[in-house]
Amino acid sequence: GDSVTQMEGPVTLSEEAFLTINCTYTATGYPSLFWYVQYPGEGLQLLLKATKADDKGSNKGFEATYRKETTSFHLEKGSVQVSDSAVYFCALQGYNFNKFYFGSGTKLNVKP
């Protein structure tokens, strides 16, 4: 069945460091891929998305490229800020748009 695996956290970085959070997926067909972010005390917010192979989703300096050959959708940011501290979830929406498959989340701590 469809599933998502993402790197475990927490990830601790200094401000302005480069961020990569790995995400790989298993799915039949051509899923859509998402990154959601959860700030403390808030809901899951869509960060970016990609609907087909080689698409690049981007938002707020974050990027992720849909790689079908490696079944990956890694999240990157060139220079993190303290305000990026949050939990990041990779998710997949398959042929059944009724549900998402999520990874377990990766907590990012950015220190000044």
Partner 1 sequence: EPEVTQTPSHQVTQMGQEVILRCVPISNHLYFYWYRQILGQKVEFLVSFYNNEISEKSEIFDDQFSVERPDGSNFTLKIRSTKLEDSAMYFCASSDPSLAFPYEQYFGPGTRLTVT
Residue 96 contacts partner 1 per CB under 8 A: yes
Residue 46 contacts partner 1 per CB under 8 A: yes
Identity of the residue, 20 or 96, whose beta carbon is nearer to partner 1 in the bound complex: 96
Stretch of residues binding partner 1 (CB under 8 A), selected from 17-25, 58-66, 67-75, 87-95: 87-95
Closest to 89 measured CA to CA, from 80, 101, 98: 101
Contact 89, 37 (CB under 8 A): yes
Contact 36, 88 (CB under 8 A): yes
DSSP state for residue 72 in the 8-state scheme = B
Q: Which residues bind partner 1 (CB under 8 A)?
A: 4, 32, 34, 36, 41-46, 49, 51, 89, 91, 93, 96-105
